[in-house]
């Protein structure tokens, strides 16, 4: 397997059994996923996701949600150590937030961009080291998949059929082959998988 030159681009997302990343009622229809995202398997998966990453890419909505919640976890001595590890990483790492409405970032270590994801990633690949993680933001992952710029996928498959809502893998994506790098099944039937793009 060879990868594209420069830094590796990774992406993570939780999906229902029928391939949706939230339910039919909209972006806040996440109830079917809640039982699975704090399991031992999910927490182990979360640690794998961020360990090698030095840049996080986020959509504005996710940035507002994540950065409104995770800093308090980073400061909570009673939080699960894996949650605290992720929270501290998210607070301290370089973040790039995609937005057409924000003019400046209200968070530390963050810059706001209003540009195509593929262009931003192309610029980041040639600078610094470590993975570029698209952090649970389907609005960024989808155009990068369309441009074949994702090198690794971290997926948490939840054993629920939600019956509607947007899918990660839309019709019309370019054909691609992936190899399984890791898998872990949880007690509730959730499966954490890591796939690497074969080039």
Q: What distance in Å separates the CA atoms of residue 89 and residue 67, rounded to the nearest whole number? A: 12
Task: Give whole-number Cα distances, 47 to 44, 102, 139, in Å.
Answer: 5, 30, 23
Q: What distance in Å separates the CA atoms of residue 13 and residue 137, rounded to the nearest whole number? A: 7
Burial (CB count within 10 angstroms: exposed 0-12, middle 13-18, buried 19+), residue 150? buried
CATH H-level, domain 9-198: superfamily: Dihydrofolate Reductase, subunit A (3.40.430.10)
Confidence class for position 4, pLDDT limits 50, 70, 90: low
Burial (CB count within 10 angstroms: exposed 0-12, middle 13-18, buried 19+), residue 129? exposed
Rg of the chain on CA atoms, in Å: 16
Asked whether the predicted pLDDT for residue 153 surpasses 90, the reply is yes
pLDDT (0 to 100) of residue 2: 43
Residue 49 near residue 181, CB atoms below 8 Å = no
Burial (CB count within 10 angstroms: exposed 0-12, middle 13-18, buried 19+), residue 170? exposed
Question: Which of 48, 72, 58, 137 has the alpha carbon at shortest distance from 105?
Answer: 58
User: Strand, helix or coil at 17?
Assistant: coil
Q: Which of 1-15, 40-54, 94-108, 157-171 is least confident? A: 1-15
Tell me the average pLDDT of the chain: 94
The encoded tokens of residue 186 equal 């949880």
pLDDT (0 to 100) of residue 140: 97
For residue 182, the surrounding DSSP H or E stretch is: strand 177-185
- Please report where in the chains the tokens 């949880």 appear, as a residue: 186
């Amino acid at each position: 397997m060879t990868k594209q030159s420069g830094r590796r681009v990774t992406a993570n997302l939780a999906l229902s059994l029928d391939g949706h990343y939230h339910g039919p009622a909209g972006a806040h229809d996440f109830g079917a996923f809640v039982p699975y995202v704090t399991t031992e398997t999910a927490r182990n998966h979360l640690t794998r996701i961020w360990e090698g990453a030095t840049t996080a890419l986020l959509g504005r909505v996710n940035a507002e949600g994540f950065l409104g919640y995770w800093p308090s976890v980073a400061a909570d001595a009673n939080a699960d150590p894996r949650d605290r590890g992720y929270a501290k990483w998210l607070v301290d790492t370089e973040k790039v937030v995609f937005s057409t409405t924000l003019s400046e970032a209200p968070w530390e270590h963050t810059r706001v961009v209003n540009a195509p994801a593929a262009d931003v990633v192309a610029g980041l690949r040639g600078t610094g080291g470590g993975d570029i993680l698209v952090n649970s933001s389907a609005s960024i992952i989808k155009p990068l998949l369309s441009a074949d710029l994702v090198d690794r996928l971290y997926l948490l498959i939840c054993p629920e059929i939600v019956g509607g809502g947007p899918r990660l893998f839309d019709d019309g994506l370019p054909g691609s082959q992936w190899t399984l790098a890791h898998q872990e099944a949880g007690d509730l039937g959730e499966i954490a998988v890591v796939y690497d793009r074969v080039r």
